[in-house]
């Protein structure tokens, strides 16, 4: 390959969205170059092996799993992807001796809630019954369609009764939504609010339309057998099979502009690659301010990008390799079999106070953890006789994390030990917000979705009204990462949508 090779498309960033976009374009017969800054592709789908333990340092819970178009279109099962679906997706352990175990079967979950509060079980049944058609008719298909403007969306919702109901809850906060459905038990309310809260979402923001996704798809979430990286390597294989080219350890430093058009990229070391379309899956600051450069940006786009809001909550991960067993002490055996065990908080008031302390930066010790023992479901994640523990806490970003990590990690461990007996710890790693942004520069300030979820940064406005349909005001430049509609997480959405837009562009140009 020479520096002057010309491609149909260059994709910047080999995370789940970049890989997806590149793989679809290659499958459509296009000549595609994928450029990745790290030594390997995968982005948030990395799985790192330390002394025989396979750590998913970033994404582990796959909410859309087999519902992602990429799963079917690229035959990911044929390329080795297998999802594991634990029967109990989540369990909450309370200090009063009770536990609440959520099952993949909604009836079973309602019965578990009824043991705490029959009234809340009835509310859950009503809510679940409404959420299913909302998801099937609207929310899941919408994830893989270009976003509609607010008025068009409302017109569409108004055509059906369930659409009108979705419109009604869309502007509610998560707390208002739980109130409206009539939940009263503080333990049940805490559990229901934990599903969006664990991702750093604000419980009082008017983002009600996200709730069915964050509740129902988390309860349908799967783990990738062998580690999340297996998903990215399958998409990678599809890309290569279809003639794609990957350069890893290759950081893009500039998007090359000629006569107001994006015509290629320059990488560290100065090499240049040309293409008819350049797709960036990086965050808006990187794409527009750093790689294109402010002088080349239309004023309104420059203002929009300068005002981009990062997430103010992120995650601290404590990853443990254990020789021997990990046993949750609760007498209900299903707690130990749950995919995620939440521990530390008992009521919704405690959750609110905890999040206030996180936001104020006054939480010094860990108060709330969600814990997964991947080896419980997948023995390939560690050597025989060993277990892997992933414990995560919602925290605020600041630069002091590397210094604070050992003490905060100790407090996570103390909290975990109140609920579980651990064998001998033979591996301990902290993954702090500073580590997150160091590993994936896209996740500035530990922003796991490449930018906050606010009403002004979602739907048709993500990342802004000019770019949410993958096109940008700059001819030849497209966006397709988590900062674009539909957003972050392993949804397989933004990269899929960008591929569709770029395919159309290439056919016409
Ligand atoms: C701690 C943590 C836990 C998470 N857990 C989950 C989870 O359980 N479930 C879930 O669904 N989501 C989870 N997420 C979120 C999820 O990982 C991200 O939202 C997702 O990875 C975004 O995908 P992406 O392809 O848009 O971007 P990324 O995954 O960020 O990929 C972007 C890629 O671009 C590369 N890059 C950066 N700069 C350049 C450059 N200049 N040139 C070339 N390449 C560049 C990066 O190295 C990276 O590989 C988690 C995130 C974190 C941090």
Instruction: Say if residue 184's pLDDT is above 90.
Output: yes
Instruction: Say if residue 122's pLDDT is above 70.
Output: yes
Beta bridge partners of 315: 394
Atom of ligand 1 nearest to the CA of 60: 8
- Closest residue by Cα to atom 21, ligand 1, is 44
Atom of ligand 1 nearest to the CA of 449: 19
Q: How far is the CA of 345 from the centre of ligand 1 (A)?
A: 29
Return the H-helix or E-strand segment holding 267: strand 261-267
Q: How far apart are CA 283 and CA 267, in angstroms?
A: 17
Judge if pTM exceeds 0.75: yes
Alpha helix (H) residue ranges in 361-424: 401-419
**Mean pLDDT of the region 419-423:** 98
Q: Which residue would you say has higher pLDDT here, 5 or 169?
A: 169
Atom of ligand 1 nearest to the CA of 253: 41
Beta bridge partners of 311: none
* Cβ atoms 381, 358 nearer than 8 A: no
For residue 313, give the nearest of 218, 200, 210, 411 by alpha carbon: 200
Q: How far is the CA of 443 from the centre of ligand 1 (A)?
A: 7
Burial class (CB in 10 A: 0-12, 13-18, 19+), 307: exposed
Burial readout 78-99 (b: 16 or more C-beta within 10 A, e: otherwise): ebebebbebebbbbbbbeeeeb
Q: How far is the CA of 135 from the centre of ligand 1 (A)?
A: 25
Atom of ligand 1 nearest to the CA of 267: 42
Query: Which tokens is 67 given?
Result: 């519902």
Q: How far is the CA of 281 from the centre of ligand 1 (A)?
A: 9
pLDDT tens-digit series, residues 326-338: 999 999 999 999 9
- Closest residue by Cα to atom 13, ligand 1, is 59
Q: How far is the CA of 14 from the centre of ligand 1 (A)?
A: 9
Q: Name residue, tokens 């969306």.
A: 153
Instruction: Say if residue 1's pLDDT is above 70.
Output: no
- Closest residue by Cα to atom 48, ligand 1, is 43
Q: How far is the CA of 478 from the centre of ligand 1 (A)?
A: 18
Torsion of CA 129, 134, 140, 146, to 10 degrees: -170
Q: How far is the CA of 126 from the centre of ligand 1 (A)?
A: 36
Residues near 33 by beta carbon (within 8 Å), at least 6 away in sequence: 5, 7, 9, 10, 11, 244, 245, 246, 247, 273, 275
Substitution candidate for ligand 1 out of 10, 43, 374 with most atoms within 8 A of CB: 43
* Cβ atoms 34, 244 nearer than 8 A: yes
- The mean of the pLDDT values for the chain is 97
Identify the pLDDT of residue 2.
45
- Closest residue by Cα to atom 27, ligand 1, is 15
Helix, coil or strand: residue 444: helix
Residues near 508 by beta carbon (within 8 Å), at least 6 away in sequence: none
Q: How sure is the predictor about 4, in pLDDT bands with cuts at 50, 70 and 90?
A: low
> Terminus-to-terminus CA distance in the chain, angstroms?
24
Instruction: Say if residue 375's pLDDT is above 50.
Output: yes
User: Which residue segments constitute the domains of the chain, with CATH numbers given?
Assistant: 6-45+227-308+451-508 (3.50.50.60), 121-217 (no CATH)
pLDDT tens-digit series, residues 11-55: 999 999 999 999 999 999 999 999 999 999 999 999 999 999 999
Q: How far is the CA of 448 from the centre of ligand 1 (A)?
A: 7
Atom of ligand 1 nearest to the CA of 35: 43
DSSP string covering 317-355:
EEEEEEEEEEEE--SSHHHHT-SEEEES--SHHHHHHHH
- Closest residue by Cα to atom 2, ligand 1, is 58
Atom of ligand 1 nearest to the CA of 16: 25
Q: How far is the CA of 324 from the centre of ligand 1 (A)?
A: 32
Residues near 260 by beta carbon (within 8 Å), at least 6 away in sequence: 296, 474, 475
**Mean pLDDT of the region 161-171:** 97
Q: How sure is the predictor about 170, in pLDDT bands with cuts at 50, 70 and 90?
A: very high
Residues near 276 by beta carbon (within 8 Å), at least 6 away in sequence: 6, 7, 8, 9, 476, 505, 506, 509
- Closest residue by Cα to atom 14, ligand 1, is 59
Burial class (CB in 10 A: 0-12, 13-18, 19+), 4: exposed
Pocket of ligand 1 (CB under 6 A): 12-18, 35-38, 43-44, 58-61, 63, 251-252, 281-282, 315, 317, 436, 440-443, 448-449, 481-482, 488-490
Q: How far apart are CA 8 and CA 244, in angstroms?
A: 11
Q: How far is the CA of 45 from the centre of ligand 1 (A)?
A: 7
**Mean pLDDT of the region 481-501:** 98
- Closest residue by Cα to atom 18, ligand 1, is 489
Q: How far is the CA of 234 from the centre of ligand 1 (A)?
A: 17
Q: How far is the CA of 353 from the centre of ligand 1 (A)?
A: 29
Q: Rounded to a whole number, what is the largest CA-CA distance in the chain?
A: 69
Q: How sure is the predictor about 179, in pLDDT bands with cuts at 50, 70 and 90?
A: very high
Q: How sure is the predictor about 5, in pLDDT bands with cuts at 50, 70 and 90?
A: confident
């Amino acid at each position: 390959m020479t520096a002057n090779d010309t491609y149909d498309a260059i994709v910047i960033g080999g995370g789940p969205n970049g890989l997806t976009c590149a793989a679809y374009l290659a499958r459509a017969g296009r000549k595609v170059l994928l450029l990745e800054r790290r030594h390997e592709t995968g982005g948030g789908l990395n799985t790192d092996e330390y002394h025989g333990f396979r750590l998913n340092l970033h994404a582990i819970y796959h909410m859309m799993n087999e519902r992602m178009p990429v799963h079917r279109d690229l035959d990911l099962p044929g390329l080795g992807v297998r999802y594991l679906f634990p029967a109990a997706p989540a369990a909450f352990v309370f200090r009063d001796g009770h536990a609440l175990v959520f099952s993949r079967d909604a009836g079973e979950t309602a019965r578990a809630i009824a043991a705490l509060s029959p009234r809340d079980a009835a509310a859950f049944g009503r809510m679940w019954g409404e959420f299913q058609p909302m998801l099937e008719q609207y929310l899941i298909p919408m994830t893989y369609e270009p976003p509609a403007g607010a008025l068009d969306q409302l017109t569409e919702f108004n055509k059906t009764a369930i659409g009108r109901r979705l419109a009604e809850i869309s502007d509610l906060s998560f707390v208002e939504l739980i109130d409206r459905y009539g939940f009263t038990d503080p333990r049940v309310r805490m559990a229901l609010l934990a599903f969006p809260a664990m991702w750093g979402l604000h419980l009082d923001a008017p983002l009600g339309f996200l709730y069915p996704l964050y509740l129902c798809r988390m309860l349908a979430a799967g783990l990738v057998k062998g580690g999340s990286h297996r998903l990215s390597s399958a998409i990678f294989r599809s890309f290569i099979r279809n003639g794609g080219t990957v350069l890893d350890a290759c950081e893009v430093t500039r998007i090359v502009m000629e006569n107001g058009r994006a015509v290629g990229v320059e990488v560290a070391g100065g090499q240049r690659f040309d293409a008819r379309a350049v797709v960036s899956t990086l965050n808006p600051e990187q794409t527009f301010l750093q790689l294109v450069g402010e002088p080349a940006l239309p004023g309104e786009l420059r203002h929009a990008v300068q005002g981009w809001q990062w997430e103010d909550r992120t995650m601290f991960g404590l990853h443990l390799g254990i020789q021997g067993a990990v046993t949750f002490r609760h007498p209900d055996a299903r707690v130990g079999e749950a995919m995620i065990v939440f521990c530390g908080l008992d009521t919704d008031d405690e959750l609110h106070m905890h999040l206030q302390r996180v936001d104020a930066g006054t939480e010094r010790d860990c108060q709330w953890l969600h814990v997964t023992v991947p080896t419980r479901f997948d023995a390939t994640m560690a050597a025989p006789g060993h277990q892997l523990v992933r414990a995560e806490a919602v925290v605020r970003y600041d630069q002091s994390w590397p210094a604070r990590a050992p003490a905060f990690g100790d407090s996570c461990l103390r909290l975990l030990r109140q609920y579980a007996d651990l064998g001998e710890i033979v591996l301990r790693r902290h993954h702090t917000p500073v580590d997150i942004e160091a590993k994936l520069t896209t996740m500035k300030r530990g922003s796991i979705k490449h930018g906050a979820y606010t009403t002004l940064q979602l739907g048709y406005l993500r990342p802004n009204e000019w770019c949410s349909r993958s096109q940008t005001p700059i001819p030849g430049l497209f966006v397709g990462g988590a900062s674009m509609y539909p957003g972050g997480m392993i949804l397989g959405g933004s990269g899929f949508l960008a591929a569709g837009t770029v395919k159309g562009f290439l056919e016409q140009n």
